[in-house]
Amino acid sequence: MLSVKYFSLAFSVALIGAAGLLSGCATVDSSKPDLKVSAFWVQDTLAEKNYQFRKVNRMTPVVYKKTIVVGNALDGIVSYDLETKNEKWRIAIPRGVEASGAAIRDTLFVGGLDGKLYSVNLPDGRINWTFDTKTEVVSEPLLDEGVLYFMAGSQSMYAVDGVSGKQMWSYSRQDTSSNMTVRGGSKPALVGGMLYVGFSDGSLVALNAQTGTEQWEITLNRNTKFKDIDSSPVVSDDVLLINSYDDKLYCISKNKGEIIWSVPYGGSSTPLVIEDKVYTTSSRGELLALSKKDGSLLWKRDTKMGIYTDPINFNNLLVSGESQGKLMFFEKDSGKVLGSFEPGRGVFSKPAVHEGHLYFISGEANVYGVSAEFPTRHEIPYLR
């Protein structure tokens, strides 16, 4: 005769199995339940409705104290109170903002599609200064010890004083070829007084951060159509990891600029390095985990909804958006899909992480706050 405890356990398992059959969805994984992803905050960022073609909204929101600041690629930057959703201030920028910004203390630095770099006072939206590049600023600036380093257009690198907005130096490359360029720009990496940045002529260049003088360069992308290197280099130990539009991910020695290895998984995203693994995306719609040692493939996940955005590490999960689909959550070790969130019109934005939540702007220019957590397990009580 079955004991009461054994009967209770069997009955519990039966109930769980029945629930899985009735749902008609994924089977129940007793080791890790599906992630519960939901939006707790949403706001339209547009000053007026957009009835024209859709723009690429990809600025990572900035959470400042109890406000959220984000720009859209149509009309500018806006700040909202996180608790009330009330608009606090708005800055009209012709053609809007596409690139993410750099924030420190009470100041936001961000580039506009009007060709200007803006220094903005976060509490009230006052513009401290602007720096005119006369070409679109579509790359995120790097701020280090009071100096802003950023790319304008696709071939000019600037160093600007963060307090005054005065130019310290500039570095430009002349691409005399007739190749078309891909819209985008590389955010530089800075280590040990050296800047590493990619250019639209297919070159990766090391610059002295104080003077802007070139230390070394290497031509990576020899593609006959698109030569661009719009990915931001990632420094890990003594190597650089960078994507290129010749559909390759490169591992390069930091000091000499020599190729250590390359694999055929390239594009424009910035790789994510966690311990001995590299997580990256390709222009073919792939999300991949690779060995940092030699680039060997550990796992791959494909999407039919455009391409994946820059992956981030969130609560020990991998998060990446589909440019024409959802915000996706993956298990890092296997690439298994654990959950997703559908914002409408895709995700180009790299989410910001704040107090255990994610904030991002969608293709429709709506800014979302999203929570993601595994449901709490509740034991089914024994029969009495």
Residues forming beta bridges with residue 279, ordered by sequence position: 272, 289
Residue 365: CB atoms within 10 A of its CB come to 24
- Output the average pLDDT for the chain: 87
What is the chain's percent helix, strand, coil content, to nearest 5? Answer: 5, 45, 50
* pLDDT at residue 96 is higher than 50: yes
Tell me, what's the pLDDT at 33?
62
Q: How does pLDDT run across 266-320, given as a tens digit for each residue?
A: 888 899 999 999 999 999 999 999 999 999 999 999 999 999 999 999 999 999 9
Tell me, what's the pLDDT at 305?
96
Amino acid found at 70: V
Q: How does pLDDT run across 248-263, given as a tens digit for each residue?
A: 999 999 999 999 999 9
Burial 49-63 (b: 16+ CB within 10 A, else e): eeeeeebbbbbbbbb
* pLDDT at residue 381 is higher than 50: no
* C-alpha distance from residue 133 to each of 111, 114, 181, 190 (Å): 10, 9, 19, 22
Residue 224 confidence class, pLDDT cut points 50, 70, 90: low
Residue 245: CB atoms within 10 A of its CB come to 25
Tell me, what's the pLDDT at 182?
53
Q: What is the mean pLDDT of residues 123-131?
A: 98
* pLDDT at residue 201 is higher than 70: yes
Kindly report the pTM of this predicted structure: 0.86
Residue 230 confidence class, pLDDT cut points 50, 70, 90: confident
Would you give the DSSP letter of residue 315? T
38 within 8 A of 370, measured Cβ to Cβ: yes
CA distance 320 to 113: 25
Residue 292: CB atoms within 10 A of its CB come to 19
Strands annotated E in 52-115: 62-64, 67-72, 76-81, 87-92, 102-104, 107-111
The three-state secondary structure class of 369 is: strand
* pLDDT at residue 18 is higher than 60: no
Q: What is the mean pLDDT of residues 27-48?
A: 78
Residues forming beta bridges with residue 144, ordered by sequence position: 147
279's tokens: 């997580």
Residue 379 confidence class, pLDDT cut points 50, 70, 90: very low
Q: What is the mean pLDDT of residues 173-201?
A: 78
For domain 32-43+269-375, give its CATH number from 3.40.50.620, 3.40.50.800, 2.40.50.140, 2.40.128.630.
2.40.128.630
